[in-house]
Chains A and B, each alone.
Chain A
Amino acid sequence: MNQMTEIKPLTRKDFESDQDVRWCPGCGDYALLAQVQKLLPTLGIPRENFAFISGIGCSSRFPYYMETYGMHSIHGRAPAIASGLKLARPELSVWVVSGDGDSLAIGGNHFIHAMRRNIGLKMIMLNNRIYGLTKGQYSPTSEFGKKTKTTPLGSIDRPFSPVSVALGAGATFVARTVDSDHTHLLETLRRAAEHPGTAFVEVLQNCLVFNDGAYNTLADKETRDDARILLEHGKPLRFGKDGNKGIRMRGFDPEVVTIGEGGVTEADLAVHDESAPNGGLAFFLSQFAAPLPVPLGVFRSVEAPAYEALSTQLAADARAQKGPGTLEKLFNSGDTWTIA
């Protein structure tokens, strides 16, 4: 009885399936795969309790490469399928891997409703700002004016920010990271894994065939510190190679300031608060675009009951109130009469 069965700790290897990975050499998706495989053995969850659900697109091949339960489904629908799985089996750790087209174009409706419900899914969206699998058309996150095969004269679609969309839909955990910074990627995924409701992570990811260099300034160690701002809860919004730049609020407008110049001190900088009851700051940060630095990290992390927990509670309450159902009771309820 007291003898503990020795459980072999899981390793990254345990999460590698026997399938050949078929992404283009150098694709940013490899970085995500490696970090997820590194993270999962550390979470204390049995391997058989993980399920990865994906839609369609390059990134959606992800489940095939994971030695977990998984489903490569249809375009845009992964959040809906994953929601059903999570509701039916709340004890499973259910992950959704998707791309910008899959999540925000064809699957936009399921994306926002997963956020709204706060169902316990870990949703990773690889955003390369292009359609890769169909060979190079613009996506909902492609920049205005972008020339692609379907926009030879430049795109007239205005892109949106996935983080803004998630926040607007009421997401309780929203983060952004980048494929080229493995440490940041891993830590962001860990935070997402620990969040009880819907956790959304946008991974800025390079497509070296159809949109190479989209995030060069974020990847290049020479330029990245000036191009990004790492969000840390309770810390001032500081960035820059020398760490002396920061964001100061002028009403509702952000401005880049340099500490030590013009009497600016650290006390003048806005302070990040990922758990502020009002999500205004997170939304404000999600709208940052050049020349402002790109925020990376956790924009928002607030506690709210997870949908599957509420659903389970409803059933428990109903059982407590009415007693467990039997077919005898079910069939004989309502107006009945007897024919002798």
Chain B
Amino acid sequence: MDTQVMTADAPEASRCGMQTVRPIEEVKSVVIRFVGDSGDGMQLTGNEFSKAIARAGHDFATHPDYPSEIRAPTGTLFGVSGYQIQFSSGQVFTSGDAPDVLVAMNPAALKTNLSDVKHGGMIIANSGAFNKVNLQKAGYQSNPLEDGTLTDFRLYTIDISDLTAQALKNTGIAKKEVGRCKNYYALGLMLYLYSRPIENEEENIRAKFAKKPDIAEANVIALRAGYAYAESAEMFVSTYQVRAADIQPGRYRSLTGNHAAALGFVAASELAKVPLFLGSYPITPATDILHELSGLKHYNVTTFQAEDEIAGICSTIGAAYGGVLGLTTTSGPGMALKTEAMGLAVMLELPLVITNVQRGGPSTGLPTKVEQSDLLQAVYGRNGECPIPVIAARSPADCFDCAIEAFRIAVKYMTPVIFLSDGGIGNAAEPWRIPDPAALPPLDVKFRTNPDGFEPYARDEHLARAWVRPGTPEMEHRVGGLEKHFLTGNISHDPLNHQRMVEVRAAKVAGIAKDIPPLEVEGPSSGDLLIVGWGSTYGSIVQAREQAELAGKSVAHVHLRHLNPLPAELGDILARYKTVLVPELNLGQLARLLRERYLRDVIVMPKVQGKMFKVSEIYNRILELC
């Protein structure tokens, strides 16, 4: 799908006014991966490159991939940090299967990423870092840039380390700082190669290093030097251009899933006209939501960095009891610690949102890698009969909508809601079409203030009890984790009352099914094969299905946002296809839920490698099945 279409355009003059005449090849989509040491600034380079791509009107998707060590020893295989971006003249759903271009800043980065690069792809290697020590650390017996290892690729060796040092020799900045500028040199190279101007980037650098003007200037010089080198050196036979994508008009910005979630939570608070409270404990990869909201105190946002995960959710329960929108954010191990308190929230029937940005598990697992293995924990993982609605986001930008949806359900049904994101979309970015705030759906919150006939556990037509803010006269009442009387909420150990309460709590959550927007099925409405997906597998499934359709296959796709309860019509949809395939980044957790609920078999497609599905993996599985 992302093959380079080699329709060489007529040569045109370069933008910088120099008279280089070099052909510009137009390509449909490109996958570029920047890899280097954890300290080489690859995340920054990737991020800045994606901004340049965004400004050019492309659709794109990114995938940052970094180790869980803050800064592993230099040159080591486990210290390699990477950032991949796919951009295209069409729609982009994933960061791409295989890089067309690998920018490798050292031998370890080359070694750990080479097997992913597309056959015949381009490798730009910083030859200056391929010295004896680094080669040894990466386990190379000889230099791969010279020994023929890379003959299947288009190799460009550039001594980025030395060229950056040359460019900066008159600036007087320290040697250590010079070394840190080479990522901007690499960025300059790539901007030229993909026909992007550097003026915006210079502004970005000056803004970013506003407090250190000498460093800002050094980075600008490095950027220009990289750009000029690519332009003037004879090594690149052509440059590449990707046409602007056919994107819905509007104003856009690039958002990661965690950033989008943070904006969504603030939006929920503004729409509801109720303050937002976040009680949280830092944990990878969820912490960025806490970072974002901590900087938004000029909104009605209070953030509380609690002493532990348990206090994170417990403070949130306290805040929700106080009558604000309570939010706690975490990842798998933290979710486990919050379990008991989630049970309390179910008993109290208070609205709050528990966000789990999933990572590889169990235990500490793979903190910086993607996995979808907390689904059963979210649906079932508590003591007692303890139903909690669960929703999941399918892409970075979708985290915005899911954040609002989570609070909509929470306040309407007076219930905690679990919102599942994951490390794949939490840190990845894509363009987000900025919505008109006035066009967002209202979020109705009603606090009961009338004491006449008030019973703390009396329910409305949705089986929700009333939300009463402490401070409301004549409505003082007590809530708690002990089983409570059906109406008064007083402690009750009556056997039949317990059965009634367990059943009404279950019925309340089950009833949300009638409040879920209709499912959209892509592809034929009945037939041979249906793919059911949830969460961040969305992009890979969409692209694989489209390819299969082009290849003449009858294959449909339905993607679930609501996982508990499941949408009411899902059973009927499943029944219309001979085979159901469920790709997930776990050993088959949604598959298990579907089998249990609909008593039909489904084919599990598990992946637990800390990586997203490749489009080709799902495509190949489709071909095996129909």
Contacts and interface: CB of A to CB of B under 8 A. Distances in A.
Interface string A32-66: 00000000000000111101010000000001101
- Among A63, A66, A327, A328: residue with most chain B CB under 10 A: A327
A84 B277 contact: yes
Interface string A85-104: 11111011000000000000
Contacts of B321: 51, 71, 81, 84-85
B466 to A, nearest CB: 14
B193 interface: no
B478 A71 contact: yes
B322 A336 contact: no
Interface string B468-499: 01111111111111100000001100000000
Given A83-B318, A331-B435, A337-B251, A77 B348 contact: no
Contact of A339 (B57, B267, B341, B475): B57
A337 B311 contact: no
Interface stretch (A133-141, A180-188, A266-274, A310-318): A310-318
B306 interface: yes
Given A48-B474, A53-B318, A340-B249, A110 B311 contact: yes
B45 interface: no
A107 B477 CA distance: 25
Given A72-B480, A318-B298, A46 B473 contact: yes
A51 B470 contact: yes
Contacts of B434: 331-332, 336
Nearest to B57: A339
A70 interface: yes
A321 interface: yes
B323 interface: yes
Contact of B470 (A69, A84, A330, A340): A69
B314 A71 contact: no
B478 A80 contact: no
A57 to B, nearest CB: 13
B253 A71 contact: no
A270 B249 CA distance: 79
A332 B251 contact: yes
B454 to A, nearest CB: 13
A68 interface: yes
Nearest to B297: A318
B340 A83 contact: no
Given A63-B478, A68-B476, A332-B251, A87 B304 contact: yes
A88 B319 contact: yes
Interface residues of A, number: 58
B471 A48 contact: yes
Contacts, number: 205
Given A47-B476, A80-B306, A91 B322 contact: no
Nearest to A81: B318
A91 B310 CA distance: 25
A74 interface: yes
Contact of B270 (A63, A67, A89, A327): A327
Contacts of A319: 297-298
B311 A17 contact: no
Interface string A320-334: 011111111011101
Nearest to B308: A109
Nearest to A54: B480
A315 to B, nearest CB: 5
Contacts of B54: 335, 337
Interface residues of B, number: 69
A67 B263 CA distance: 40
Nearest to A77: B314
A82 interface: yes
A252 to B, nearest CB: 32
Contacts of B308: 109
A92 B476 CA distance: 13
A14 B67 CA distance: 60
B298 A325 contact: yes
Contacts of B15: none
Interface string B292-321: 000011110110101110110011111111
Contact of A85 (B254, B311, B318, B490): B318
B271 to A, nearest CB: 8
Contacts of B277: 84, 87-88
Contact of B298 (A47, A68, A80, A321): A321
- Among A89, A319, A322: residue with most chain B CB under 10 A: A89
B398 to A, nearest CB: 16
B498 to A, nearest CB: 17
A201 to B, nearest CB: 20
- Among A17, A82, A331: residue with most chain B CB under 10 A: A331
A72 B299 contact: no
A315 B475 CA distance: 30
Given A82-B318, A84-B319, A49 B471 contact: yes
A338 interface: yes
B306 A336 contact: no
B315 A89 contact: no
A72 B304 contact: no
A330 B315 contact: no
Contact of A80 (B55, B247, B318, B477): B318
Contacts of A92: 322, 470-471
Contacts of B517: none
A19 interface: yes
Given A109-B307, A315-B298, A85 B252 contact: no
A109 B490 contact: no
A113 interface: yes
Contacts of A326: 270, 437
B319 A339 contact: no
B252 A338 contact: yes
A54 B299 CA distance: 31
A83 B314 CA distance: 9
Given A87-B315, A87-B319, A48 B298 contact: no
A20 B440 CA distance: 49
Given A77-B310, A81-B317, A327 B267 contact: yes
Contact of A48 (B297, B301, B307, B470): B470
Contact of B250 (A64, A73, A338): A338
Contacts of A113: 306-307, 311
A46 B479 CA distance: 20
B275 interface: yes
B201 to A, nearest CB: 11
A87 B317 CA distance: 12
Contacts of A85: 318-319, 321-322, 470
A333 to B, nearest CB: 8
Given A64-B480, A321-B298, A80 B254 contact: no
B360 interface: no
Contact of A72 (B57, B320, B322, B478): B478
21 contacts: A17-B478, A48-B472, A53-B318, A69-B471, A72-B478, A72-B481, A74-B340, A74-B344, A74-B481, A82-B318, A83-B318, A84-B321, A86-B318, A88-B275, A89-B469, A89-B470, A109-B311, A311-B304, A327-B437, A338-B252, A339-B247
Interface of B: 51, 54-55, 57, 204, 247-254, 263, 266-267, 270, 275, 277, 279, 296-299, 301-302, 304, 306-308, 310-311, 314-324, 326, 340-341, 343-344, 348, 434-435, 437, 440, 469-482, 490-491
Closest 5 CB pairs of A and B: A84-B318, A72-B480, A84-B315, A80-B314, A327-B437
Given A315-B298, A337-B252, 16 more contacts: A19-B490, A48-B473, A48-B475, A69-B471, A69-B476, A74-B344, A77-B314, A80-B318, A83-B304, A84-B320, A92-B471, A113-B307, A314-B297, A325-B270, A327-B440, A335-B254
Interface of A: 17, 19, 46-49, 51, 53, 63-64, 66-74, 77, 80-89, 91-92, 109-110, 113, 311, 314-315, 318-319, 321-328, 330-332, 334-340
